[in-house]
């Protein structure tokens, strides 16, 4: 009740499918709605407003290094018709973009929430949104002309660096494209691909947003409000004042240390 009125007119993918052409259609339509060209680099900033427009509340958190799915948590409350998305800011740029796109897919497909099918679709949608078919078409001729594995990996690496997404995402989108269009697939040992991925990584989002680290509570709260268009801390502040809830509540819902929770609590109560 402290969040205020939520957006009720929302975008839905009514028949989600991982079939290549349908997936590409959904990804390109999303790009058009966001005002992003078919071959343009998609920044995570372009996705923020779409969460708000879809009735989702972003909750940026700082959890340190985590493994894959632990970097993003999707919580949907069907009765209240509200979705909360926790995003770990201590995530590399290329991975942060993927998880934002992944969570956006969950927002678009609420009927698949909590299912393996939903996770598969969210992964597929994220890859297609970040590097859709027009991007693949632009780089595939150069890749297919390479005569050895190392040259192919280097070309994939350059595409990944240009678009600020992981080389694994580029590789999978190229393979899906080749399969769908009946073109020669890439023959690469995936362990070499992963080694290249580990060699190149962008900055942590927390490093981009805050200097120095860790940020003071007021700076962190302001970033959540202004950078991520989130009403979360505004709502929590109202609730703490009305209900006199303690710092342990902040610790629990954000899954942070009691020390950090107390610091946030004092700032919110200020």
Q: In this predicted structure, what is the pLDDT of residue 198?
A: 65
Can you give the pLDDT of all 270 residues of the chain as single tens digits?
898 877 777 889 999 999 999 999 999 999 999 999 999 999 999 999 999 888 899 999 999 987 656 899 999 988 888 899 999 999 999 999 999 999 999 999 999 988 999 999 999 999 999 999 999 999 999 888 888 888 999 999 999 999 999 999 999 999 999 999 999 998 887 777 777 766 667 899 999 999 999 999 999 999 999 999 999 999 999 999 899 889 999 999 999 999 999 999 999 998
Is 99 contained in some domain?
yes
pLDDT at 84: 95
Identify whether residues 50 and 149 lie together within a single domain: no
Domain contains 246: yes
Looking at 102, 130, 158, which one is the last position of a domain? 130
Residue 1 lies in a domain: no
The count of domains in the chain is 3
Give this prediction's pTM. 0.93
> In this predicted structure, what is the pLDDT of residue 133?
98
Which of 110, 130, 150 marks a domain boundary? Answer: 130
Identify the domain boundary among 130, 151, 175.
130
Residue 155 lies inside a defined structural domain of this protein: yes
Same domain, 144 and 84: no
Per-residue model confidence (pLDDT) at position 244: 82
Same domain, 179 and 190: yes
Q: Residue 158's domain spans which residues? A: 133-197
Residue 244 lies in a domain: yes
One domain for residues 46 and 118 = yes
38/109 same-domain check: yes
Residue 24 belongs to domain with CATH number:
1.10.10
If asked whether residues 125 and 138 sit together in one domain, one would say no
Closest CA relative to residue 18, chosen from 121, 102, 111:
121
Q: Is residue 137 part of a domain?
A: yes
Domain co-membership, 118 together with 188: no
Check whether residue 84 and residue 30 sit in a common domain.
yes
Residue 49 domain-assigned (yes or no): yes
Return contacts of 36-41, CB within 8 angstroms, 24+ apart.
Answer: 38/132, 38/134, 38/135, 39/134, 39/135, 39/138, 41/162, 41/163, 41/164
- Residue 25 belongs to a domain: yes
The per-residue pLDDT for range 198-207, each reduced to its tens digit, is: 666 789 999 9
Residues 87 and 179 in one domain: no
The answer on 218 and 154 residing in a single domain is: no
Does 219 lie in the same domain as 147? no
Residues 165 and 215 grouped into a single domain: no
């Amino acid at each position: 009740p402290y969040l205020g009125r939520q957006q009720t007119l929302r975008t839905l993918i009514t028949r989600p499918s991982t079939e290549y052409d349908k997936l590409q259609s959904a990804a390109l339509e999303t790009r058009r709605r966001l005002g992003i060209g078919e071959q343009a680099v998609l920044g995570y900033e372009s996705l923020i407003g779409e969460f708000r427009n879809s009735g989702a509340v972003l909750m940026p958190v700082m959890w340190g290094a985590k493994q894959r799915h632990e970097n993003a948590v999707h919580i949907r409350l069907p009765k209240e018709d509200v979705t909360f998305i926790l995003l770990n800011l201590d995530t590399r740029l290329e991975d942060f973009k993927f998880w934002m796109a992944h969570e956006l897919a969950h927002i678009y497909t609420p009927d698949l929430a909590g299912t393996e099918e939903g996770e598969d679709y969210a992964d597929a949608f994220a890859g297609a949104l970040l590097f859709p078919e027009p991007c693949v078409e632009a780089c595939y001729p150069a890749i297919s002309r390479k005569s050895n594995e190392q040259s192919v990996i280097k070309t994939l690496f350059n595409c990944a660096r240009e678009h600020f997404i992981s080389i694994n995402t580029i590789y999978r989108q190229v393979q899906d494209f080749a399969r769908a269009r009946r073109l020669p697939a890439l023959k690469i040992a995936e362990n070499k691909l992963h080694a290249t991925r580990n060699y190149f990584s962008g900055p942590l989002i927390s490093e981009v947003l805050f200097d120095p680290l860790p940020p003071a509570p007021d700076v962190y709260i302001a970033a959540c409000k202004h950078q991520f268009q989130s009403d979360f801390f505004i709502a929590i502040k109202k609730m703490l004042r009305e209900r006199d809830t303690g710092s342990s509540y902040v610790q629990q819902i954000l899954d942070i240390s009691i020390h950090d929770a107390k610091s946030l609590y004092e700032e919110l109560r200020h």
